[in-house]
Structure 1
Amino acid sequence: MTAMPAPPAAPPRWLVPVVIVVVSIMVGGGLLARELYRLPEAVPDTILAESTTNRPLAQQPGPDTVELTPDAAAHPRSEVVRTLLQTYYDSINHRDYELWRTVVTRERIQAKPRSTWLDDYGSTRDGSILVYRINPVSDAELRVLVGFTSTQNAEDAPPELPEPCVHWRLVLPLALESGAWKIDAVTGSTTPELSRC
């Protein structure tokens, strides 16, 4: 007579509550992450208007301090981004190529040697700088939607809008390079929005 196989052992009593707790934490964490990193609604027109158009032409480009919308300020890397952009715009406003090199990627430095950079930004002054949102792409990449105003000689203005005062909205790519966040080269896939002051 063959022996009957033993019935399967019942799972330990503690296993079911542990599984429930683990699943609950995972679901809660997923919902929290979705809220933290969800794409925000479009930037309200009132924010755009306040940041650019209420200033007389003689007072353009406005203050050179980088500011953040509440949405951008809520991002975990908001202070890193703000400091990085502040240095970037300060370098342009003070014609400091060496300072600019500290906040951009090697690829961007290679694309703009000192002579090209000084030629491009020779008369440029940037202000009314507002970060609208910060979107993560990966652990080593961010996309920053920023608006600002530039004043310059018309010949130094963008070729598509040769004006002495231009409002810009563009997406700046940020990349982690050698352990530090840097502003990466802007690819052709992102087209800035330009308008006359």
Structure 2
Amino acid sequence: MPAPPAAPPRWLVPVVIVVVSIMVGGGLLARELYRLPEAAPDAILAQTSPARPLAEQPGPGIVELTPDAAAHPQNATVRGLLQTYFDSINNRDYELWKTAVTRERVQAKPKSTWLNDYRTTKDGSILVYRIDPVTDDELRALVGFTSTQDVKDAPAELPEPCVHWRLVLPLALESGAWKVDTVTGSTTPELSRC
């Protein structure tokens, strides 16, 4: 006849309880540490919406933020800057545009060129996906938006009346204010047809 199984040592049950308690507590602590911070109250968070028919493009001209972008400490500043930037294009207001961009960008795009480049452009469905720091006086904003324009004014690589854009806009601190800086050749925009 086999011997009856031995009873577990008395210390095993308390050790198991302590180990399980530590694991549960650690999991709860990790969840709190990695939770995204609450968005700032003035941030406009993007709402998921179905794709718009071509007749409703480019969509609203309001700059919205993803929760990730809204969690950045400069979210309100970046949102306000980009709102001015896109409003200036949509309203063909070169003087307003100059307040949103660096001096270098203004010098690279005189008024006559700027008015010609944006004469039929209308931007909308503007969404800031991310805001990343580069240095203390440089940020990068990953932005998506839709533009409508005459085909002759469309980007050469995608001559369409409606284009979805996704690009990184460099932002620079100039004279104490954030401005949209000159886009370098190291960033290539993603373009797709509406």
Tell me the secondary structure at the aligned position of residue 100 of structure 2.
coil
SS at match of 1:101: helix
Match of 1:152 in 2: 149
Displacement of 1:172 in angstroms is 0.1
Q: Return the match for 2:104 from 89, 103, 107.
A: 107
In 1, Cα distance between equivalents of 2:93 and 2:153: 17
Find the counterpart in structure 2 of residue 60 from structure 1: 57
- Encode CA deviations 1:18-41: one digit per residue, 9 max, x unaligned: xxxxxxxxxxxxxx8x999xxxxx
Q: TM-score, normalised by structure 2?
A: 0.75
1:125-164 superposed matches below 5 A? 125-164=122-161
The secondary structure found in structure 2 opposite 1:116 is helix
**Cα offset, 1:104, TM superposition:** 0.2
Partner of 2:187 in structure 1? 190
- Which amino acid is 1:148 matched to? F
Deviating runs (4+, > 6 A) in structure 1? Answer: none
Mapped partners of 1:161, 1:108: distance in 2? 24
Query: What SS is found at the alignment partner of 1:119?
Result: helix
Which residue does 1:93 correspond to in 2?
90
1:111 shift after superposition:
0.7
Q: Report the aligned-residue RMSD.
A: 1.9
Matching residue of 1:82: 79
Is the alpha carbon distance of 1:127 and 1:91 closer, same or farther for their aligned partners in structure 2, counting shifts above 3 Å?
same
> Which digits, 9 at most, give the CA deviation of each residue in 1:106-160, with x for residues without a partner?
1100110000000100000000000000000010000000000000000111000
Distance 1:94 1:124 in 2: 10
SS in 1 for 2:88: helix
Residues 161-176 of structure 1: matches in 2 within 5 Å?
Answer: 161-176=158-173
Identity of aligned residues (%): 77
Unaligned runs of 5+ in 2: 1-32, 37-45
Question: 3-state SS of the aligned residue for 1:90?
Answer: helix
Residue 40 of structure 2 corresponds to which residue in structure 1?
A: none
Aligned to 1:180: 177
Give the counterpart letter for 1:145 in structure 2: L
For the residue of structure 2 that corresponds to 1:102, the secondary structure is helix
Q: Distance in 1 between matches of 2:62 and 2:140?
A: 20
Aligned length: 153
Report matched runs for 1:14-93 at 5 Å: 50=48, 54-93=51-90
